[in-house]
Amino acid sequence: MASRLYQWIDQRLKLKPLEQTLLNEPIPGGASWNYVFGSATLFLFVLQALTGMFLMLYYVPATDHAYDTVQYIQQEVWGGWFVRGLHHWGASAVMMAIGLHMLQVFFDGAYKRPREMMWIVGVGLLALMLGFGFTGYLLPWDQNAYWATQVGINMVGAVPVVGDFIVRVLRGGETLGALTLSRFFAIHVAFLPAIIVFGIMLHIFILRRVGPAGPHDEHRAKLGSETFYPRQVYMDAVVMFGVFLVVAALAILVEFPLADKADPSDHSFVPVPEWYFLFHYQLLKYAPGALGPLATWLLPALFFTGLLLLPFLDRNTERRPSSRPVMLGVGLGFLVIVFTLLGISLQHLYAVPKQDPSVARGIALVDQFKCQTCHRIHGDGANIAPDLSYVADRRPNREWHLQHFKDPQSVSPGSFMPKFPLNDKQLNDLTNYMLTLKGG
């Protein structure tokens, strides 16, 4: 039945020539696992597009609704937590895939003539994917998203001549607010996808015109070629399936919770960028004063300029790694610097004790309402009312604490504790703090 349907469609659309073009392209030296990274990157981009479409069904790009709709997706929509997890971890996976793809091309010297244009388009696609990461980070509208974006926009403002103009365009005004969120959403779901789809099509078109580079080993390349189908298709399919399993496992096993809702007045919050920006985040710490702006925009500009000019700087026609020691040495040195900075940044992040923001607000409420004029907590405060140092051991029930803060008399008859004017968020914060007060 399927064969007859295909024949019926083929008689009208002439699919055979297209099939020949896509599947019967010769690969010099034969199929290889080295060539799977491009297909993996394309697969992950499609996964990001599909999961993004489903998230858009519920997401509202407005400052008074964005955070709540993301929470609703995470907690109320059937399977919403899984789709959001796929989108979050897929973003990291696509950055890793495109990085590995470019490293494979660099190592094999596949950027050399006649593939200069394909390399240049690939560098542009890398920049666009970083743009996806930057614009998508703001959309949950939590504290980390807000302040990390604020830092990123301020960094853009350091670019000479055009910096202030770009900042105004991104913000949509003098401050980061509703128009910024709306513009980032439009860029993330409309402008960048349109540009990157065109870029991917152009990248594939150039590949089809100039053909795959094949292995850098000329002897192996001369042994013969092999069509894209079936072995390379099989290898690509296996890797795509494996990548999906890894991303799905991360979505299921590793929760990616929201921080508190964005609070523009909270200037004490210290944001953390995504891991693929962390090495630059760490680098900026070593560039104080006048060096700061240079590290902010000059080094990234030099990096992308170097990538774009690489095919023209490396004029050696040989592709074997042994014949390109200088270029490979520069590439290896760059990777060592990036991973060293990334490692230092991660070490510092994990060395800092983490405290739930809700617990921190609960501690602040204890100070605000002067609870320690009656209660003692770990040696501080009076002994007029019960000691709260290990109250969670005695009262582990969350509902009991919530009810106690709402109406002390309802759960502790005879209590002289007054009713405090607490809203739901404050009740939740105080309860979270109480539940941390336990032995051990």
**Span 395-412, pLDDT tens digits:** 888 888 888 888 888 888
pTM summary value: 0.81
Model pLDDT, residue 50? 98
Q: Which of 304, 326, 351 is the last residue of a domain?
A: 351
Check: CB of residue 230 under 8 Å from CB of residue 29: no
Q: Residue 8 domain-assigned? A: no
Q: What are the C-alpha distances in Å from 182 to residues 142, 156, 173?
A: 15, 19, 12
**What is the residue range of 120's domain?**
22-351
Query: What CATH number corresponds to the domain at position 365?
Result: 1.10.760.10
Whether residues 398 and 299 fall in one domain: no
Check: CB of residue 178 under 8 Å from CB of residue 104: no
Whether residues 234 and 319 fall in one domain: yes
Q: Residue 6 domain-assigned? A: no
Model pLDDT, residue 224? 82
Q: How far is CA 19 from the centre of its chain?
A: 35
Model pLDDT, residue 288? 73
Q: What is the tens place of the pLDDT at every residue in 357-395? A: 778 888 888 888 888 888 888 878 888 888 888 888 888
Check: CB of residue 428 under 8 Å from CB of residue 260: no
- b/e map 26-42, b = 16+ CB within 10 Å: ebbbbbbeebbbbbbbb
Whether residues 345 and 209 fall in one domain: yes
**Long-range contacts of range 206-212, CB-CB < 8 Å, 24 or more positions apart?**
206/115, 206/117, 206/118, 206/121, 207/118, 208/21, 208/25, 210/114, 210/115, 210/118, 211/25, 211/26, 211/28, 212/25, 212/27, 212/28, 212/35
Whether residues 55 and 200 fall in one domain: yes
For 289, the 3-state DSSP assignment is: coil
Dist CA 14 CA 29 (whole Å)? 31
Whether residues 345 and 410 fall in one domain: no
Dist CA 161 CA 151 (whole Å)? 19
Q: Residue 10 domain-assigned? A: no
Q: Which residues contact 394 (CB under 8 A, 6 or more apart)?
A: none
Q: Which of 305, 327, 351 is the last residue of a domain?
A: 351
Q: What is the largest CA-CA distance in the chain?
A: 92
For 225, the 3-state DSSP assignment is: strand
Q: What are the C-alpha distances in Å from 371 to residues 109, 251, 287, 361, 362?
A: 68, 41, 45, 14, 11
Q: Residue 34 domain-assigned? A: yes
Whether residues 272 and 390 fall in one domain: no
- The stretches in the chain having pLDDT less than 70 are 351-356, 440
Q: Which residues contact 106 (CB under 8 A, 6 or more apart)?
A: 310, 331
Q: Which residues contact 285 (CB under 8 A, 6 or more apart)?
A: none
Q: Residue 1 domain-assigned? A: no
Q: Which of 324, 351, 378 is the last residue of a domain?
A: 351
Q: Residue 16 domain-assigned? A: no
Whether residues 327 and 364 fall in one domain: no
Whether residues 273 and 343 fall in one domain: yes
- The residues with which 225 forms a beta bridge, in sequence order, are 28
Which uninterrupted H or E stretch holds 226?
strand 225-227
Model pLDDT, residue 352? 55
C-alpha triplet 237, 238, 242: angle, nearest 5°: 115
Q: Which residues contact 411 (CB under 8 A, 6 or more apart)?
A: 400, 403, 404
Q: Residue 376 domain-assigned? A: yes
Alpha helix (H) ranges present in 76-115?
80-108
Whether residues 66 and 111 fall in one domain: yes
Model pLDDT, residue 300? 92
Whether residues 186 and 302 fall in one domain: yes
Whether residues 296 and 405 fall in one domain: no
Beta strands 380-381 and 26-28 are unpaired
Q: Residue 17 domain-assigned? A: no
Model pLDDT, residue 248? 97
Residues of the chain by 3-state class (helix, strand, coil), percent to 5: 70, 5, 30
Query: What CATH number corresponds to the domain at position 199?
Result: 1.20.810.10
Whether residues 143 and 100 fall in one domain: yes
Burial environment of residue 388 by CB neighbours within 10 A (0 to 12, 13 to 18, 19 or more) = buried
- The domain tally of the chain equals 2
